[in-house]
A = this chain, B = another copy of it.
Amino acid sequence: MKSSDKIGWAVTAEKLMVDKTLPLAVDDGSARLRVYPHEMERKIQKKDSLVEDAYKVLKASILDGTLPAGYQAVEHRIADQLNMSRTPVHEAVIRLQHEGLVRVMPRRGVQVLPILASDMIEVYQLLVAMEGTAAMLLAKDPDRAQASIQMLEDATSQMERALDADDLRGWARADDQFHRVLVNESGNRRLAKMTATLIDQAQRARAVTLPFRSVPRMSVQEHRIIISAIRAGDQIGARAAAEGHRTRASGEIIKAIGRL
């Protein structure tokens, strides 16, 4: 199979182009000065750079399987599809390479990497450590936990509803949400950012294996255990619960990948 076919992400790219034309926040003069520089940055980056656009589109396409493992394309073609020049694509691709999603083979194009069982072992070992820490940090800080617990519970309830409706994708989405909230609310931004990358990879693996494995009702229950430990301020318990949850899930995923 030659790799010169058209690519399937044109739609996503177009949607994204539209988003970029959203009106920016304008200073109407009524606002008080002394905007926190932090907040200002937020407002400014409303308009993503092209690099960011390319990165997001490519990453999303890889994660949801639109660009399957083994897919290969040259930067120039990708740039055409995204209506931009090679420069931003090049930078985005390099970023994806650092995250382990693609590799660029000199003079052979960029290639979407396959999901290896060994990769998932690594990813889950890290998720165990990261989310264990996140749960512990949340349990340690009751004030912060207060607000977070609601989000965690919502995500878990959502999972339960999706399960009852036999909505596997909905379940997966809600499960992802739970884990992202867990690390985002930990108060450690580095932890949140690093773990996000890991969750991405896990998500990709799950997208592929989802049809092949039974959905564990157990995950809902385990999430609730984590939540109640956090609520109780039980650092050790929260950590152990989060670790146990990911450790168990790890086994299932890796078994499922082996079956592919």
Which A residues form the contact surface with B (CB < 8 A)? 44, 91, 94-95, 98, 100, 106, 121-123, 125-126, 128-130, 132-133, 137, 188-191, 194, 198
Interface contact A133-B137, CB-CB below 8 Å? no
**Separation of A188 and B198 alpha carbons in the complex (Å):** 13
- List, in ascending order, chain B residues with CB within 8 A of A125's CB: 133, 137, 188, 191
Using A95-B98, A121-B188 as known contacts, list a sample of 5 further A-B pairs with CB atoms less than 8 Å apart, ordered by residue number in A. A125-B133, A125-B191, A126-B190, A129-B130, A129-B133
- Do residues B122 and A190 form an inter-chain contact, with CB atoms below 8 A? yes
Do B91 and A126 touch (CB < 8 A)?
Answer: no
Tell which of B95, B100, B128 touches A133, judged by Cβ atoms closer than 8 Å. B128
Instruction: Kindly list chain B residues whose C-beta atoms are within 8 Å of the C-beta of A189.
Output: 122
CB distance from A125 to the nearest CB of B (A): 6
> Chain B contacts of A91 at CB under 8 A?
91, 94
Q: Once bound together, how far apart are the Cα atoms of A125 and B123, in whole Å? A: 19
Q: List residues of chain B with CB within 8 A of the CB of A194.
A: 126, 194
Least Cβ–Cβ distance between A55 and chain B, in angstroms = 11
Write the nearest CB–CB distance from A182 to chain B, whole angstroms: 14
Q: How far is the CA of A137 from the CA of B188 in the complex (A)?
A: 24
The answer to whether A126 touches B94, judged by C-beta atoms less than 8 angstroms apart, is no
Bound together, the chains give a CA A94 to CA B125 distance in angstroms of 28
